[in-house]
Structure 1
Amino acid sequence: MFKTLLLTVDVNDLKGSEKPAEAARHMALDYGAELHVMNVVPDYGMSIVGAYFSKDHNKAILKEAKAALESWAQQTLKDVPDLRLHVDQGTVYDLVLKEAEAVKADAIIVGAHKSQLKDYLIGPNAARISRHAKQSVFVIR
């Protein structure tokens, strides 16, 4: 049913990624699917903010995020045979949707943080991904 899956995780909240990762792991193993795991480092929001950081700051942040994702994946998803890791920087929901298209994902697995009334039961990134994705989206609490 699923040949390619995309799991989104936040390396700054790996505890919150446990349940979505477990669901994605089972799906990948059950279907023999390729599992792509993506972490998006948010950008600064406004270019004026980015001007206060050194030129190498982005490279260092991305390198640190990739190392954290690799370490976490080796422990959490070690038995998934076809595992690919991706780290990018920018707007989370936009980059997730672009990556899903690029890898031809059949499904996207996202976590939803504890709901607050303002989030209407799922977080803003999960909501936007669910609303705009061409693929099936599994939102795991």
Structure 2
Amino acid sequence: MFKTILLPIDLQHESSWKTALPAARRLLDEGGTLHLLGVVHDVGNAWVASYLPKGYEQRALEEMKAQLGDFVSRELGGVAGVTTHVGHGHVAETIIATAEKISADMIVMAAHPPDELRTFRVSSQADRVVRHSPVSVMLMR
């Protein structure tokens, strides 16, 4: 059992939490904390950013925070020990940085079924987290 678990989720895709959330709850110690992380992708390019409305990223961060709050109310209403975090940047890097920041004992996250061609071309976020995480990672499919 674990005292501090990080669960990164993509609120636009139920598959990112449908099986991972129950697994994380089962692994969590009594009195432990489940940290939910939503990541707002970094635009990463000044040229692209110039086409976005002024304040776009700040509004996206605020909206993510509100959506995470709604998610907790809907899916975890009444469950103690749940904290939400909004990250900004590259997904895998943000997950690892957040795990370090909160001193996570475990990261639980969803992963797509293996696809050798896609994995060869562009490594999945879950693969990057597994390879670089300082703590154990449980992938749910």
Give TM-score scaled by structure 2 length.
0.88
Distance 1:31 1:92 in 2: 29
Distance 1:113 1:78 in 2: 28
Contact 1:3 1:33 in 2 (8 A): yes
Contact 1:25 1:77 in 2 (8 A): no
2:77 is matched with which residue?
Answer: 78
Instruction: Provide, for residues 52-96 of structure 1, a one-character-per-residue CA deviation record: whole Å limited to 9, x for no partner.
Output: 112211121112211211111222222431111001221000011
Contact 2:108 2:137 in 1 (8 A): yes
Distance 2:65 2:104 in 1: 21
2:2 alignment partner AA: F
Query: Compared with structure 1, are the counterparts of its residues 16 and 5 closer, same or farther at alpha carbon in structure 2 (3 Å cutoff)?
Result: closer
2:129 is matched with which residue?
Answer: 129
1:61 is matched with which residue?
Answer: 60
Distance 1:133 1:15 in 2: 22
Distance 2:112 2:46 in 1: 28
Structure 2 counterparts to residues 23-62 of structure 1, below 5 A:
23-28=23-28, 30-62=29-61
Structure 1 residue 15: deviation in Å?
A: 4.1
Contact 2:39 2:89 in 1 (8 A): yes
* Superposed CA RMSD: 1.7
Distance 1:75 1:26 in 2: 19
Q: Where does structure 1 lack aligned partners over 5 or more consecutive residues?
A: none
Number of residue pairs aligned between Structure 1 and Structure 2: 138
Q: Percent of pairs identical after alignment?
A: 33
Structure having the higher strand fraction is 2
Distance 2:113 2:79 in 1: 28
2:14 alignment partner AA: L
Structure 1 residue 10: deviation in Å?
A: 0.4
Deviation above 3 Å: which 4+ runs of structure 1?
none
